Amino acid sequence: MIGRNKGIYKTPAELRLMVEPGRVTAASLAAVRAAIRPGITTLELNDIAEQAIRSRGGVSNFQMVPGYAHTVCTSVNDDIVHGIPSGRTLEPGDIVSIDSGADVGGWNGDSAITIVLDDPARPDVVAARRLLSDVTEQSLWHGIARLATARHLNEVGEAIEEFVEEHPSVAQGATYGILTDYIGHGIGRSMHEAPPVFNYRVRQRGPEVKPGLVVAIEPMITAGTTDTYVREDEWTVASADGSMSSHWEHSVAVHEDGIWVLTAEDGGASGLAPLGITPVPIP
Ligand code: MG
Ligand code: MG
C-alpha cells in the first residue's frame, strides 16, 4: 500500500502550478452555467467550454483521453457520466451534468456540476431533481470538509456516504444510491492518477492525508439503483433502471496551511463555510 502510493504527494511549487488549471476549469463550467437553457444543444455547451478554456491559455484534457474528441462530458437525465456532446436539444426539467477539465502548462484540473432546468409545467419533477443534485453537491462538500481534517483518505468516502444516508429524503422513501462502478482519483500532471478516491466507506484506510495530496472527489448519485450500463456509443454510463442522476466534482489540494478547492471559483469558501471549514485563500 505504501509502495503503491509513493510519489503521490506534490511539492509546494507543484501545488502552485495546479492553481491555474483549476481556475480555467472553473471558468469553463461557469460559462456553461451561464449559457445553459432549454433549446440549447449539448454540443453548443461543449463549444462554450472549449472557448472558455482556449481563451485562458488552456487545453481540454478530456481531448487527451484516447478515443475522446470533445471538451466536456454532458450527461442528461438517466445518463450519469461520460455522456458525449451531440445535437441533443435540452428540454425543460432536464437534469444535466457537465464534466470539464483543463490542462495548463502540463498540469490538470477536473470538475463537474449538475444543473436542473426550469419547467413551470412540472414543478414537482424539478423539485425532486434539484433535491437529488443538492444532496449530491452537499455530499461532495462534506467529503471535501472531511479532507481538511482527515488522517487517511478513506474518511472522505465515509463522510460522503454518511451525508447521503442521513439526508431526510431517505426517510421519505427515496433510495439515493452512490455509484461504486466509478470513483474519484488523484490528479496532477495527468488528469487521472493514484490514489483512487472512493465516494463510500471502504475497509482500507488509503494513503495518509498530508500536504501535497491532490485529489478529484466526485460523487455520482442516482435516485434509484447503482447498477449501470454503457450505452451503444461505448462511452455514456447510464443508470440500469432509468433513474435520474447527478454528478458533482472538485479538484482539491492539501497543503501546509489547509486545503485549496482548486476548481471552485471562490476557492471553496461558500461551500465549506456552513461546515465550519475555512479554506486557505488560493494565491
Ligand atoms: Mg471530471
Ligand atoms: Mg474526475
> 0.85 cut: is pTM over it?
yes
Please give the sequence-ordered ranges of beta strands (E in DSSP) within the chain, or none if there are none.
59-60, 72-76, 79-81, 95-100, 102-104, 107-108, 111-116, 177-178, 184-186, 193-197, 214-217, 220-222, 228-230, 237-239, 245-247, 250-255, 258-261
Distance 171 CA to ligand 2 centre (A): 30
**Of 85, 28, 74, 19, residue with least CA distance to 51:** 28
Phi, psi of 73 (to 5 degrees): -110, 140
- What CATH number should be reported for the domain holding residue 253? 3.90.230.10
The reply to whether 283 falls in a domain is no
Distance 193 CA to ligand 2 centre (A): 10
The reply to whether 280 falls in a domain is no
Query: Which residues are found with C-beta within 5 Å of the ion, ligand 1?
Result: 99, 110, 112, 249
Q: Which three cell numbers stand for residue 129?
A: 431533481
Distance 21 CA to ligand 2 centre (A): 14
The reply to whether 21 falls in a domain is yes
Ligand nearest the Cα of residue 25 is 1
Q: Residue 4 has what pLDDT?
A: 58
Ligand nearest the Cα of residue 62 is 1
CA-based max dimension of the chain:
56
Ligand nearest the Cα of residue 199 is 2
Counted domains in the chain: 1
pLDDT band at 279 (very low <50, low <70, confident <90, very high): confident
Q: 234 vs 55, 128, 178, 192, 230, CA distance in Å?
A: 31, 29, 22, 19, 6
Tell me what the pLDDT averaged over the chain comes to.
94
The reply to whether 178 falls in a domain is yes
The reply to whether 100 falls in a domain is yes
Strands 102-104 and 107-108 turn out to be antiparallel
- By the 8 A CB rule, do 133 and 223 touch? no
- pLDDT tens for 186-232 read 999 999 999 999 999 999 999 999 999 999 999 999 998 999 999 99
The reply to whether 265 falls in a domain is yes
The reply to whether 281 falls in a domain is no
Ligand nearest the Cα of residue 192 is 2
Tell me which residue range forms the domain holding 79.
Answer: 2-275
